[in-house]
Structure 1
Amino acid sequence: MSRNSGDLNELRDIIMQAQTRQDPYPQDPAARITVGRDGQIYRGDPTDDEPVSRVHHGTFAGARALSRRLAADQRFARTRMPVGTVYVDEPDVCGWAYSITTELAEHYTLFAFFDGREYRVKLVEPALEQLVRLGIIGAHDGHLYADGTICLSETRGAGQPTLEEAYSKSVLWALGMGFVRNGHRFPFAAEGR
């Protein structure tokens, strides 16, 4: 173990080498950075029994990573999302607006966005979240929150890891919501059956 004695170049080299190898948690202690309880940065593991936290050596969410994600999303939207899908880039919101018509001939406009961790989808039209707020449709029954966000996973408020998964699940949700709107149970959820 060696304490960081101000050699930022060595820390940078360790991180950059790990990123080049795509190895966020190096097994070799000499190629690892840890942090002690007091905030002290170590190169390697301490020799005493001091508890340390491992540092994830992967890249910070830099502009390059964001532009790669956006480029991949643009390719997906252009080739697999409905014609007319639009990327909205406003100061408070960035994401994909798209419209679909379900097998029940119901029209939905949806908005998929990356929240910094995952992709979530918000219902734009029809304004069904008002029915949730009024208690006409239960949030659990319709898998729709009062703010218009669709429940896309088992974890409350969670989305999906990719735009593709968020988009495809939102289309399935829209069909299921059509059943709910017609007085039936949501057909694509095991609970409540």
Structure 2
Amino acid sequence: MDIVKVAGRYPSMMRSLHWLVAILVLATWPLGLMIGYTKESVKLDFYLIHESLGFLVLWIMLVRVGVRLTSDVMHPPQPAMERYAARSVHGLLYLFLIIMPVSGFLATNAHGFPLVWFGLVPIWSPVGKTPDIAPIFSAIHAWSAWILLGLFALHIGAVLLHHVIKRDATLYRIL
């Protein structure tokens, strides 16, 4: 199949942002899980990398939302239930890919650890050290991570459904 000629292929900017976010999330998510199992001597380094990548995901997602809202994407015909499921999962992925880094950023700030992005750029803290609300932001961040994992599983399941079972061109739209 000639990928370049697939009907309804996403614009190159949307495809690039999609794969950039995917790579960053696939690096950031497990890194966040590993923090709890790291030695104290390197724990802060893991946090710095995790938070910095997460903050990068936030900004790329904001750009991605803008690109999505201003791009004219042609959708191939599909059953109403599939269209509803696809739009719902995509919308929730976008939402949680914003909620997760925001809640993580606010949690670390509220715990008293301001972000210095990649160890170079200090980021202003909108909440400062506020231990009373830090656990709330941490809980939102943790729950968002698991919800995002579930949405990712649904997304990959749909990719497999279309590519392996239906054998249609859906996957090629984003490649």
TM-score, with length taken from structure 1: 0.24
Q: Which has the higher strand share?
A: 1
Q: Which has the higher helix share?
A: 2
Higher relative contact order (CA 8 A, sep 6+): 2
Higher Rg of the two aligned structures: 1
